[in-house]
Amino acid sequence: MTQDADLKTVIRARMERTGETYTAAQAAVLALPPPEVTRAVDEIARLVRPFVDGERIVSIPVKRRRRVAVLLHLLSRFEIGRSYAESEVTAILGAAHEDHAWLRRELVNYRYLHRDSGIYRVTTSVPERDATEAQEIPVDEAAFLRSLRTHRGQVQAPG
């Protein structure tokens, strides 16, 4: 009951602010990403900001948590469900940084990209992590990966 009342309050506030009908305001509110997704996306943007200039990565972070944030940022340049030839992955990563081979290797090593016979795909499930590797992940990894699948338009390059 409380959640319904809270939702209605948010919808009515949006109606007042935008002049939308209840149905339009409700659809807009329900289309927003969950708070954990927004937090994860914002955290990645904050962590990569010092290392990015426009579409280019100007330097690779030394600290692993920030390095993984850069990898997650790069992952948003790939389409979920699409297969990529190695040359396509090289082109996407090469547009971001000259060391595309290292970036590709790291994306595979962290299991964000799956490689099979020279074909690459974005991993659709959250990779299992041991305790050491889990310490290197800067955000709610599951929420960020969910943002790539369901709220692609919400994942923006930092700026």
- Residue 114 structure tokens: 């799956």
Please give the share of the chain, as a percent, with pLDDT higher than 70: 89
Residue-level pLDDT at 151:
54
Residues 6+ apart with CB under 8 A from 92: 74, 77, 78, 84
Instruction: Please say if the pLDDT value at position 29 is more than 70.
Output: yes
Residues 6+ apart with CB under 8 A from 100: 89, 90, 93, 94
User: Stretch 94-106: mean pLDDT, rounded?
Assistant: 96
Tell me which residue of 37, 107, 105, 123 sits closest to 72, measured CA to CA.
107
Instruction: Please say if the pLDDT value at position 39 is more than 80.
Output: yes
Q: How much helix, strand and coil, in percent to the nearest 5, is found in the chain? A: 55, 10, 35
> What are the sequence ranges of the domains in the chain?
1-32, 34-154
Residue with token string 């790069």:
74
Instruction: Please say if the pLDDT value at position 85 is more than 90.
Output: yes
Residues 6+ apart with CB under 8 A from 129: 137, 141
Residue with token string 């002049």:
19
Quick count: other Cβ atoms within 10 Å of Cβ 61?
16
Please give the share of the chain, as a percent, with pLDDT higher than 90: 48
Residue-level pLDDT at 157:
36
pLDDT 10s digits, 103-122: 999 999 999 999 999 999 99
Cα separation, 47 vs 146, in Å, equals 19
